[in-house]
Structure 1
Amino acid sequence: MASPSHRVYLHIGLPKTGTTSLQALMWHHREAMAADGVLYPGAERGEQHRAIIDVHNTRYKAWNEERVPGAFERVVAELENTDKPASVFSTELMAPASPEEAQQVLSALSFAEVHVVCTVRDFARQVPSVWQENVKTRHRTTYDAFLGALRSGELNGITRPFWDFQDLPRVLRTWGGTLPPERVHVVTVPPRGASSRLLWERFAPVVGLDPENYSTEVPQENFSLGMVETELLRRINVALDKDFPWMRYATTVKDTFAAKILSRLPDPSPIRVPAEDYPWICETAQRFIDDIRDRGYHVVGDLDDLMPAPPREGEPEPSTMPADSELLAVAVKALARYLQFRAAPRAAPPSAVPAPVRRLSHTLRGLSEQYPQLMTARRIYSKAKSQLRR
């Protein structure tokens, strides 16, 4: 039975800060973590996401399939009844919570000493990453229009979902406002070019684990696209008929063409922030850093990691719209690879997937079109569905 000496670490996001990688790693090593005294709850990978959908069902009402009711109770019961000294509850679905929604979770965990953990990243890397994720979920907004909307400071259909998940000071106040600042842990994502293990080496000790005891070579589900590949996909989104079913899009366009073709093309050009956007992006990053310092949160890593690096001298100005010749060259390569992919021998058809899983998959695909920041949950459910097929 857990007690106030039991620690529950709420890993609340932010999306696009390595959360999927950390969750995959912890799920893969959950038995080893338990042996080291840290519980990673849930009977399968989607349970922690489902728990937040359950307790915040007005926010995520479109996700209310038959396995959601009771999921929060199940996770809380597992946390309360464990004999481990610590537990990790990790889902970025917590990030946009209102103070009232956060208090629902915190009150239910009153039997334990709650800690909040938030992974954060250089804002100049967050912005293009979110735009790319939007395009991968059928959005049609150009990179230039996306940047312009954020630059304007206005709340609209483009910017509101972004800030719901990415307003770091608000997220930390919402979840950590009633906790001692030393129990709010800000883990900075290492700068580009750092060791792929470094984020885990920063995160693991916060939750009471020795990172050296765990391999980070575990299956991952993320994929990324370059600037030209993302713009090509955006134009495909524009060209596709609006009645093209979302489930067919997710299967054919996103999970096949984007993930297995576009993401594997050679020499992708990174999506970067233009010089004209550096001032407001740096101001935002500095505001985040100042808020973290002023509130005295426990920082793991270096706050300087959150300050965007200036453009390298002599580096060409990044384009927010590739030339048509670049798009044509990538389109031809992608088409050739796609034809080869389609011509390859196919595995035997999988066994039937249970109806509840099919319904859940349909629900997640629909909602992820509206809220692309939540694609992590859909990927986890897709993996669970594949395991059931086997």
Structure 2
Amino acid sequence: MAKRVFLHIGAPKTGSTFVQNVLWHNLQSLKDAGILLPGKFASHDEAMADLRGLSWHASPAWSWERMVTAAAAWPGDVVITNEGLGAATAAQAARAVRSMSPAEVHVIVAARDLWRTFPSMWQQSIRARGVWSFEDFLGAVQQGRFDDFWEHHTANRMLRRWGDLVPAERRHLITVPGPGAPRETLWRRFAEVIGIPDGVCDLDVPGGANTSLGAAEVEVLRRVNRALGERYPHRAPYQRVVQRHLVDAVLKQRTNELRFGIGPDRAEWVLDMAEKQIKELDEYPCDVVGDLAELRPVDVEPQATPDQLAQEQVLDAAIETIIGMIGHAEHLDLQLPEPRRNPLERLRRRGRRLKRGLQKVSSR
């Protein structure tokens, strides 16, 4: 069995894309250092979905038990990383930790300030086929009608469900550096927890961050989701089609200049909730890597929300999106190989051409 198993469970929108990109692009170097990431990126997502009983994948190759088996076969340290793990129930979390025995299990949770978390989390929900407006999302959280936000997307409750299952010294809270900080700072904090020496991993990896959409672009996607109805009801087909051909190929490629965020009517509430979050985490016994003060919003400037866009702005973005998808379709078309014809069909075509040629000669 592995000596130590590090379960990186979230939270979503805390720089996990960059951290995971570094890990997956340095697999061999990590193995040489005695650290294993079992399978591949999709394996961790499939195992997470299996643990939580989610039907996100049509025919998953990796179950949670397969992940456990892979960890058991490795003599060093193991890292399992998927931000969806943080949303597991208390019983599911207990099963996950128990299944890794007798390895020394560590739980890693990252936290980000709420001022940036709210817009990012809403956008992520739209990119996962959501249809509610930013205003409806914030209203539901503020009025207590969407408790899942706190349960599934913030460090506080994740630590209670997962951290309580291991000793305090094996609970690790990584704070996400504030705006403008070098992205390497987050990686160094993550590497410090696991014990990855400097120089083992090359940080210059493709796809370093999960590109955010602008206000108009994300509003176009929200309306597309609403119009899709029951098509692509599961996450995997939606990502394979909509995420790939609309979001990644077109919407992410736009300038996305019109940013959005918390409106002035909710600024005080968000700041108050941030202070409560910091206080609660300060009172929870765990290893804090970073500074809890980084969870206090800075440069707080209320911004317009996507709900406040003029219809012309949304229409212009939609038209530009259609143009972008035409270009994307043309690019795909140029990449398609020439269809292979049946040999018999080729002979028939040659026969018809020869017949037409003889007819022309005889008519002269």
The partner residue of 2:219 within 210, 213, 231 is: 231
**Cα deviation digits, residues 100-128 of structure 1 (max 9, x gap):** 21111111122111111111111111111
List runs of 5+ in structure 2 lacking aligned partners.
339-364
1:105 to 96, 102, 112: 96
Cα deviation per residue 1:275-299 (whole Å; 9 max; x = unaligned)?
2222222222222211221123111
Which segment is superposed worse, 162-171 or 97-106?
162-171
Partner Cα distance (2:68, 2:161) in 1 = 20
Which amino acid letter does the alignment assign opposite residue 139 of structure 1?
Answer: G
- Matched with 1:80 is 72
Equivalents in 1 of 2:6, 2:310: separation in Å? 47
Superposed displacement of residue 246, structure 1? 4.6
Q: Say whether 1:129 aligns with 2:124.
A: no
The letter for the 2-side match of 1:347 is Q
Report the counterpart of residue 358 of structure 2 in structure 1.
none
TM-score (norm 1): 0.77
Q: Which residue of 1 aligns with 2:174?
A: 187
Q: After superposition, where does 1:1-390 map in structure 2 within 5 Å? A: 1-2=1-2, 6-42=3-39, 44-57=40-53, 60-61=54-55, 63=57, 65=59, 67-68=61-62, 71-84=63-76, 86-154=77-145, 159-220=146-207, 222-238=210-226, 240=227, 242-246=229-233, 250-312=239-301, 320-344=307-331, 345-348=333-336
Deviation at 1:129, TM superposition (A): 1.0
Between Structure 1 and Structure 2, how many residues are aligned? 334
Between structure 1 and structure 2, the one with the greater Rg is 2
CA distance in 1, matches of 2:106, 2:174: 13
Question: Please, which moves more after superposition, 46-55 or 142-151?
Answer: 46-55
How far does residue 209 in structure 1 lie from its aligned partner after superposition?
0.5
Percent identity, please.
30
Tell me, in whole angstroms, the C-alpha distance in 1 between the residues paired with 2:260 and 2:273. Answer: 19
Change (3 A) 1:27 1:349: farther
Q: TM-score, normalised by structure 2?
A: 0.82
User: Would the aligned equivalents of 1:200 and 1:211 in 2 still touch at CA under 8 Å?
Assistant: no
For 1:183 and 1:146, how far apart are their aligned partners in 2?
34
Does the aligned pair in 1 maintain the 2:134–2:306 contact within 8 Å? no
Q: Distance in 2 between matches of 1:333 and 1:267?
A: 12
The 1:83/1:255 distance shift into structure 2, 3 A limit, reads: same
Distance 1:335 1:95, change over 3 A: same
Residues in 2 aligned to 1:134 and 1:215: alpha-carbon distance in whole angstroms:
31
Q: Identify if the C-alpha distance between structure 1 residues 249 and 179 changes in structure 2 by more than 3 Å, giving closer, same or farther.
A: closer
Counterparts of 1:250 and 1:30, CA distance in 2: 25
Paired residue secondary structure (1:47): helix
Distance (Å, rounded) in 2 between the aligned partners of 1:81 and 1:104: 19
Q: C-alpha deviations, 1:309-344, integer Å up to 9, x for none?
A: 2524xx765564212232233333333333333333
